[in-house]
Amino acid sequence: MSRGKTKHSSKSVYLKSAKETQLPPTPVAPPGYLLPVIVLSQFAGTSLWFAGNAVLPELQQEMHLPGSGTGLLTSAVQLGFILGTFCFALLSLADRVSPRLLFMGCALLGAGANALVVAAAESLSTVLLLRAATGFLLAGIYPVGMKIATSWYKSGLGKAIGYLVGALVIGTAFPHLLRALGASLPWQTLLLLVSGLAAAGGVLMYVLVPQGPYLGKGAVFNAGNMLQVFRVREFRAAALGYFGHMWELYTLWAFAPFLISAALPQLAPSEVSMWSFGVIAAGAVGCVGGGYASQRWGSARVAFLQLFASGLCCVLSVIVLQLQAPLLVLLFLLGWGVVAAGDSPQFSALNAQKAPPHLVGTALTVVVCIGFAVTIASIQLMDYLLTLWPPHAMFGLLAAGPVAGLLSMRRLLVNQEGNQHSSPNKSTR
């Protein structure tokens, strides 16, 4: 009897929370300028992510860093981001505070933390602390930007988030482009340029993007909110698929310059930076293309196919990276970059769609928190293994993530197929 009352009570709370969101009864068309502004702001804010990696050679010389500096700087940002997303999810900040204000505040503070690296370059511990602080503040940029998008786009969410994550991908790659085009510029100038771009993006989001019609009432603080979202079975399936995807993605991005240099030692440093930009930025093609494909085939199927393709690239890298054919190797890496990131927006769309309506921001935040914790393990493991074995033998291990993600995705595929087959029957009744 008590069990039945508990179920009825939790169901009543869920229904009450869903009603309190007060979504508009009819679809609201967003202004045409809105998505480009959100995309540009997201691009600007997330360019802070790998800014340290783009100037790594100069930082290594300045601070006498060992060759493992790539792993240290990248992991500092990831650890900060994990701590930030955990705190934001625990406090349900993205569902309790104006997302626009939260985005702007974190973009301005993150830009400041990134700029301070210029003044602290003589201390490794201070630089790592500042990079961790930047990662912490990125927790108010990446998932919050997606929350802002979901507040405007009810239908076609996969397409909208495809553009949004595509902006993240290009923002992540952008410092490498600056490095390639401005190789003669001081590294301090490059970091300050990235900081200025991020600050401008935060202001742009706050000034030009109004509150969305699908932004429900703020959630009530409850430390259990971030665990409640995992009670939904389909949400768990989408989240586990995302975690498998994250095992591969950021390790590939973090070690892209190293991988290119090892496979093609004849390239000049500026060429390595340019190709690193290309490999990472190619993911934007997969994100946007997958967004359009999701309108026809659904987010679950598109995410599954791209995750399968990226896992296959992990396996093939063992062979391809040994080939003495520079053009083939570069084309392979570009293709790998496309599919490695292309499934990310569809996983985010699935997470937003399957989460409880009043906890979308919390759900997106806690999922990326766990996902980036996975990247720490992957990056550090790869950083260690690369001291023992050659690169071409190591990156095949990244396939473990896609395999695990594909196994978890089966339930979503079955449900999507069932919904597609049942919808014509429903419409004729």
Cα 281 from Cα 253, distance rounded (Å): 10
Q: How far apart are CA 129 and CA 285, in angstroms?
A: 33
Identify the residue with better confidence: 78 or 178.
78
Which among 202, 225, 172 is positioned nearest to 99, based on CA atoms?
202
Give the lowest-confidence range in 122-131, 159-168, 174-183, 316-325: 174-183
**What's the confidence (pLDDT) of residue 14?**
40
pLDDT digits (tens, 9 = 90+) for 378-406: 988 888 888 888 877 888 899 999 999 99
Residues contacting residue 424 through CB under 8 Å, at least 6 positions apart = none
pLDDT digits (tens, 9 = 90+) for 246-286: 999 989 988 888 889 888 888 888 888 899 999 999 999 99
pLDDT-based confidence at residue 346 (cuts at 50, 70, 90) = very high
pLDDT at 207 over 80: yes
pLDDT at position 103 is 94
In whole angstroms, give the CA distance from residue 360 to residue 3. 27
d(CA 109, CA 274): 29
* Rounded average pLDDT over 45-58: 74
What gap in Å lies between CA 173 and CA 281, rounded to an integer? 6
In 3D space, the residue among 10, 195, 60, 36 whose CA is nearest the CA of residue 116 turns out to be 195
The amino acid sitting at 390 is: P
Would you list the DSSP string of 406-423?
HHHHHHHHHHHHHHHHHH
Residue 4: the pLDDT is 47
User: Structure tokens of 227?
Assistant: 């665990």
The average pLDDT across 283-292 equals: 94
CA–CA gap between residue 401 and residue 311 (Å, rounded): 8
What per-residue confidence (pLDDT) applies to 291? 92
Helices (H), 92-224: 93-96, 99-116, 124-138, 142-150, 157-181, 187-208
Lowest mean pLDDT among 10-14, 166-170, 292-296, 416-420: 10-14
Asked whether the beta carbons of 222 and 92 are under 8 A apart, the reply is: yes
- CA–CA distances in Å: residue 320 to residues 264, 286, 309, 327, 333: 12, 21, 15, 11, 9
CA-closest candidate to residue 408, choices 309, 338, 310, 303? 303
At 66 the pLDDT is 60
pLDDT, mean of residues 20-32? 60
CA distance linking residue 90 with residue 19, whole number of Å: 23
Neighbours of 230 (CB within 10 A): 15
Q: Looking at residue 129, what is its pLDDT? A: 93
Per-domain boundaries in the chain:
33-209+226-419
SS3 call for 211: coil
**pTM score of the predicted model:** 0.76
Residue among 273, 279, 183, 240 nearest 367 (CA): 240
Q: What is the pLDDT of residue 222?
A: 65
Whole-angstrom distance, CA of residue 184 vs CA of residue 270: 10
For residue 60, the SS3 value is helix
What integer pLDDT is reported at residue 7 of this predicted model?
43
User: Which pLDDT tens digit goes with each residue over 62-99?
Assistant: 776 665 555 677 778 878 999 998 898 888 887 788 88
Residues 173, 165 contacting (CB under 8 angstroms) = no
pLDDT score at 1? 43
The predicted-structure confidence for 293-344, as pLDDT tens digits, reads as follows 998 899 999 999 999 999 999 999 999 988 888 899 999 999 999 999 999 9
- State how far the alpha carbon of 157 is from the alpha carbons of 126, 149, 200, 429, in Å: 40, 8, 26, 28
Higher pLDDT, 143 or 399: 399
Residues 330, 279: Cα–Cα separation, whole Å: 8
Q: What's residue 417's pLDDT? A: 57
Look at residue 50 in the predicted model and tell me its pLDDT.
67
What mean pLDDT is reported for the chain?
82
Q: What angle do CA 373, 376, 378 make, to 5 degrees?
A: 115
Nearest CA to 56 among 258, 247, 259, 341? Answer: 258
pLDDT score for 122: 76
* 373 token code pair: 């914790």
User: What pLDDT is attached to residue 54?
Assistant: 67
Residue 380 is classified by DSSP as H
Nearest to 373 by CA among 118, 172, 86: 86
Highest mean pLDDT of the ranges 137-141, 408-412, 417-421: 137-141
More reliable by pLDDT, 49 or 234:
234
pLDDT score of 200? 95
Q: 294-303, 306-315, 356-365, 419-428: lowest mean pLDDT where?
A: 419-428
d(CA 282, CA 299): 20
The hierarchical CATH code for the domain 33-209+226-419 is: 1.20.1250.20
C-alpha span between 255 and 71 (Å, rounded)? 9
Average pLDDT over residues 141-159: 83
User: What was the pLDDT predicted at 314?
Assistant: 95
pLDDT value at 24 more than 60: no
